[in-house]
Amino acid sequence: MTAAKLFSYARALLSEAFLRLYMPYLRCRLGHLGPGAGIYGRCKISFPQHVHIGANTSIGPGCFLQASSQGHIIIGERCAIAAFTRIITPTHDPAVLPVAAVGINRTVEIGDDVWIGTGAMILPGVRIGSRSIVAAGAVVTKDVPEDVMVAGVPARVVKTLLPAELRFENGRRAILQKRKAS
């Protein structure tokens, strides 16, 4: 076995061991962490007791979940949140000076089966509808309806997705094909 392969194997074992220790810790600290959910890599979470993550949701490395004293982050089931995504609940009132005088906390809600691409930013008070997709690098400033894809800065609807039933059927077929191939 080459040194590179040995190093890669050792790193994978350490990552697995870390997750086995880290996930129970998060389960105690977070408001809710559903079964099968995973938070990978170095994620930063402020006010973890105000973060609720549904079952089988995956949060990639380097994400920043910035809940606040009164702003919650609620993430549905079976979501895929890619690396370096930022979800933010605190903001300020633009009608008030000095800016730091009044802080505002707005809850962010993400529905079930949502895919958020790498480096996206979800701003305070936003609700992302179930089965929607947020493109990589998008800045979501307003609510996102169900079953659409948004992209850009600020994020705008760029595509209406196929009906949920058809997408779930496509998923079932892909899983069956994968099983047959292995």
CA distance 139 to 179: 37
How confident is the model over 27-69, as pLDDT tens digits? 778 899 999 998 987 899 999 999 999 999 999 999 999 999 8
Query: Which candidate in 50, 52, 72, 92 is catalytic?
Result: 92
Q: What CATH number is given for 12-181 in this structure?
A: 2.160.10.10
Q: Is 48 in contact with 31 (CB distance < 8 Å)?
A: yes
Confidence (pLDDT) at 41: 79
Confidence (pLDDT) at 9: 65
Confidence (pLDDT) at 21: 66
Confidence (pLDDT) at 134: 98
Confidence (pLDDT) at 181: 86
pTM of the model: 0.85
Confidence (pLDDT) at 182: 76
CA distance 65 to 28: 17
Delimit the domains of the chain by residue range. 12-181
Q: Which residues of the chain have pLDDT under 50?
A: none
Q: Is 52 in contact with 30 (CB distance < 8 Å)?
A: yes
In terms of Cβ atoms closer than 10 Å to its own Cβ (0-12, 13-18, 19+), residue 92 is middle
Tokens representing 178? 């994968």
CA distance 110 to 151: 16
52 is annotated as an active-site residue: no
